[in-house]
Amino acid sequence: MAVVGIIANPASGKDIRRLVAYGTVFDNQEKVNIVRRALLGLAATGVRQVVYMPDYYGIVPKALDGLSSQHRLSLEVNPVDMELTGTQIDSYKAAVEMNRLGVGCMIVLGGDGTNRMVAKGCGEVPLVPISTGTNNVFPEMVEGTIAGLAAGIVAGGWYCGSLAVHHTKKIHIYKNGVHVDIALIDAVVLRDSFIGSRAVWDAERIRQVLVTRGEPHNIGISSIAGNLEPVGIQEERGLAIEFGEGGITLLAPIAPGLIQSVKVRNHRTVEIDEEVSVAEVPCVIALDGEREVEVKEGDTASFRLSFDGPRVVDIKIALREAVTRGYSRVRTGYKA
């Protein structure tokens, strides 16, 4: 029986960038609406069991409660057994438990930071990331119904080959030679000595960056790479950038509505498995837009680019391939 996990972060889309930039608050009621549509999509593909991350707002239970009588689902929907902390650790713990339970796919509502935590615990389980955060390079803006259909197709085995589900890149972070964390999009070295506010929005404090990807249409720190030397999702390389005088100045949208001029001293391509040393300490390292790692005087730090990031569903390819295999012509028991 196909099982799908849902991780909806109630805190995504609410950080300090709503005060220092022009990011909009992503209301939890809208997350409820997205999850409701995703559940309907899952039911239409024949999924019969869903497990979800419990949260203080009750996103999934409210999604179920809001269904009209004509759309009552034959889904078995249960929370995973976990103790809530009200922090980003919850997304990690939920992913670990869902991986242990053997779900066939996970739907994730959040931004880059939420998906980074899920990536730490999801193992080889494919992800369908739905953008509901601030920096949304890793997750896509996708309609909830379509996300549910794609996740159900993958969990139910309606696709084959490797095009519909592919690995992504990630950055391994080392401190004093010990692996301490990962990033999915960018690792940013900041001219700070303590973490303070987690979100990053001031380009003048950036010393050094390594990105796994960056396109001109991205928002956040990876947009600097996108406006300098774009790097695609599946390209087997990353980009290392050093900031300061003596190079070029460019414009980049590093937060919603916040387009800043950035002084780039130099940049270079980084190959898979190549290690990049952090040049200046003390510093703080931000991962996917949030300050996470303090590096003090006398410490060393480095990054390594890899292609062993989480597996992600290409929604368009998965749906097209499933249609060729007849999924949309099969009676699933779903009543519209």
pLDDT digit string, tens, across residues 295-324: 999 999 999 999 999 999 999 999 998 888
User: Letter for the amino acid at 234?
Assistant: Q
Where residue 334 falls among pLDDT bands split at 50, 70, 90?
very low
Residues 179 and 262 in one domain: yes
Average pLDDT, the chain: 89
Residues 206 and 154 in one domain: no
Q: What is the CATH number of the domain that holds 47?
A: 3.40.50.10330
Establish if 334 belongs to a structural domain.
no
Task: Pick 256 or 36 by higher pLDDT.
Answer: 36
CB 51 within 8 A of CB 79: yes
Of 94, 108, 5, 11, whose CA–CA distance to 57 is shortest?
A: 11
Cross-strand pairs, 325:
none
Residues 118 and 187 in one domain: no
Task: Pick 334 or 89 by higher pLDDT.
Answer: 89
Cross-strand pairs, 172:
182, 304
pLDDT digit string, tens, across residues 202-234: 778 899 999 999 999 998 899 999 999 999 999
Residues 157 and 174 in one domain: no
Residues 298 and 252 in one domain: yes
CB 303 within 8 A of CB 297: no
Check whether the bond before 282 is cis (ω within 30° of 0). yes
Residues 82 and 10 in one domain: yes
Establish if 335 belongs to a structural domain.
no
Residues 55 and 77 in one domain: yes
Establish if 277 belongs to a structural domain.
yes
- Domain with 97, as residue range(s), is 3-167+310-329
Establish if 321 belongs to a structural domain.
yes
